[in-house]
Amino acid sequence: MNFSCILGSLLGTAVGDALGLPYEGLSRKRVAALGKIRHRFLFGRGMFSDDTEHTLMLAAAMHGHRDDVNAFQRSFAWKLRWWLLGLPAGVGLSTAKAIFRLWLGFPPQKAGVSSAGNGAAMRSAIVGVFWADDIAKRHAFALAACRVTHTDPRAEESALLVAEAAALAVNRVPTAESLDRLRPLVKSVIMKEQFQILEQALTEGNSVHEFATRVGCECGVSGFAPRTVAVALYSWLRHRGDFATAVRSVIECGGDTDTVAAITGGISGAEVGKAGIPREWMDRICDWPVSVGHICEVATALADNSPQTPCVSWLFVRIRNFFFLAVVLLHGFRRLLPPY
């Protein structure tokens, strides 16, 4: 396994998530008014949301069951069950419903709900990185992970596109060929429309915001997976090899900024590795017990196929979640005040 790509994708997801989190729900105009894109969650520092947590759970399940997709799916489902008991501050409605169904006894392959939200796509990049050289396993594992929480064909399509883009990033496939390899995965009417616009926009040299506007995200990137993934793919292709610009550009669009930045970061990070991610963005993350150091340990275990995957204390996670919730509420109160 390519350790550099695995680490780059995991860190890229985490950095994009932490950087975009304090801008979540803001309009493009409000984001611009805040000035330079930087960590703003906690006194100039960043923390992770569910985007990073789910990606690491998926990585751990894949590490333990890389040869059995059904066992992988069951493992991931159990990790989601225990994650919800940790009382996370942010959880998508569809994901929450699916996890409740898991606790009620539904099997993982039948727990998912009919939703095209971002929950499945946000965690799929690492699947594409891990199975960059095995298309059959890449698609099987991405779909298995998706169906634990989301069963809408557009959610599955989005998860597959993210995984495929990450694999293309790992293998440094040129943009024209990347488009040719992504196109067969585009099935839904809305994604076909957006993919056509994406190709046109690349030819015309549109900015990420211009593309986002063209696909209906002029007020911010929504929580609808096809639109989120389209914007993330465009930013990666438009700014290949430039992690900072790709991630910054999607955050500047406003809306579901942590998720679109996490997806963009996961794909771009796989291509540029840890060295291509701004050091300041990594150094100013202050989360615990899941930290940058912990993410590096997970990447090492995944790449080396070590016997055990690094884990963190459930008690520590719960303490952290109470603190995280308090900060989220403070941000909510702050947004009730005038922007200036």
Written as one string, the DSSP assignment of 172-205 is: T--HHHHHHHHGGG--SHHHHHHHHHHHHHHHHT
> Which alpha helices (H) appear in the chain, and where do they start and end?
3-20, 28-33, 50-64, 69-85, 93-103, 108-111, 125-130, 135-147, 153-170, 175-182, 189-204, 208-214, 225-238, 243-251, 257-272, 279-283, 292-304, 314-335
> What's the DSSP call for residue 151?
-
- Residue 190 counted as domain residue: no
- Residue 16 counted as domain residue: yes
- Residue 241 counted as domain residue: no
End-to-end CA distance of the chain: 49
Alpha-carbon Rg for the chain in angstroms: 18
- Residue 162 counted as domain residue: yes
- Residue 113 counted as domain residue: yes
Q: Please state the pTM of the whole predicted model.
A: 0.97
Report how many domains make up the chain.
Answer: 1
pLDDT tens, the chain, 340 aa long: 689 999 999 999 999 999 999 999 999 999 999 999 999 999 999 999 999 999 999 999 999 999 999 999 999 999 999 999 998 987 888 999 999 999 999 999 999 999 999 999 999 999 999 999 999 999 999 999 999 999 999 999 999 999 999 999 999 999 999 999 999 999 999 999 999 999 999 999 999 999 999 999 999 998 999 999 999 999 999 999 999 999 999 999 999 999 999 999 999 999 999 999 999 999 999 999 999 999 999 999 999 988 888 889 888 999 999 999 999 999 888 777 765 4
In angstroms, rounded to a whole number, what is the distance separating the alpha carbons of residues 7 and 295? 8
In angstroms, rounded to a whole number, what is the distance separating the alpha carbons of residues 178 and 168? 6
In angstroms, rounded to a whole number, what is the distance separating the alpha carbons of residues 178 and 182? 6
Range of the domain at 298: 3-25+36-172+256-335
Q: Which tokens is 337 given?
A: 């005040």
- Residue 156 counted as domain residue: yes
Task: Check residue 336 and give its pLDDT.
Answer: 75
Give me the CATH number covering residue 262.
1.10.4080.10
- Residue 63 counted as domain residue: yes
305 burial level (CB within 10 Å; 0-12, 13-18, 19+): exposed
> What's the DSSP call for residue 122?
G
- Residue 217 counted as domain residue: no
